Amino acid sequence: MGVEVQPQANVFAGASRLFDYWAIAYKRTWKGSAISSFVTPLLYVVAMGVLLGGFIKGDPAKLEGATSYLAFVAPGMVAAQAMTTVFGEVTYPVMGMIKWHKSYYGMIATPLGVPEVILAHLGFVAFRVATTCAVFFAVMAPFGVFASVPGVIAAFFVQLLIGMAFATPIYAFTAGLKDESAFSLVFRLGMIPLFLFSGAFFPIANLSPFLEAVAKVTPLWHGVDLTRMLTLGQVDGSMVLVHLVYLTVLALAGWFAAVHRLQKRMII
């Protein structure tokens, strides 16, 4: 079966035709994620920021400018939430669409192609990231950890970029797998170390020079640092540019890899 190459502009139009599919799918499954999306942020903020933070001195010199541990850890938890949401949405669900209920095959049997199918799925992932992170920001707002409303709005859109910077490479990885056995390693050796060494819970300057250098090349550190700068109102223009370029390049590289690997997997 050959592949019909369509103009790039038509990819967005084609992806929009799958809106009904993803809207119906979410309508049927939203209750399963409601508790984790709404309760988890509150528990994280109270447990890590308020209770644990009460034992940590709020020294701005040691907390990257934050006046309290809650103000330091809250932006990191939002960025980490964006990442963990993506891991849950582009591992087993993508495998299911390819291998188990084979929904992707039904989609590409229509005039839609692989790029449209991927873009529509990533659009749903972006929606999930947006809703979970919006709740996180709303939960944190009463605690007075934000410097300005424009900073929070900018940080919200940064979460979407963080989500895509993780979603496209992980999607590409999943698209080439024959089964789900590798996912346990992805979560244990990928997501958890990124979560712990991202600077979300402690300044990475506390690490050894080698581990600090390693942390600074991970995408979540870039997301955490950028989110923290925006929410604390301590923006370094040059670092903002570095973070944005890094995350954008990663998202674009992952997109092309995802299209290539899913084409190879599904088109014979």
Per the structure, how many domains does the chain have? 1
Q: Tens digits of per-residue pLDDT, 25-75?
A: 888 877 777 776 777 777 777 776 566 656 566 555 566 667 678 888 888
Domain range for 166: 37-49+60-266
pLDDT at 97 over 50: yes
Percentage of residues in the chain with pLDDT exceeding 70?
88
User: Would 178 be classed as within a structural domain?
Assistant: yes
SS3 60: coil
Q: pTM of this prediction? A: 0.88
Res 2: pLDDT: 41
> Rounded to whole angstroms, how far apart are CA atoms 199 and 205?
9
One-letter amino acid at 239 equals M
Contact of 81 with 195, CB cutoff 8 Å: no
Closest C-alpha to 87, from 229, 188, 204: 188
- The separation between CA 171 and the C-alpha centre of its own chain, rounded to angstroms, equals 12
* Domain membership flag for residue 26: no
3-state secondary structure of 94: helix
What pLDDT was estimated at residue 3?
43
Closest C-alpha to 174, from 113, 252, 92, 104: 92
In a domain, 23, yes or no: no
Q: Is residue 123 part of a domain?
A: yes
Q: What's the pLDDT score for residue 267?
A: 74
Q: Are 200 and 178 in contact (CB under 8 A)?
A: no
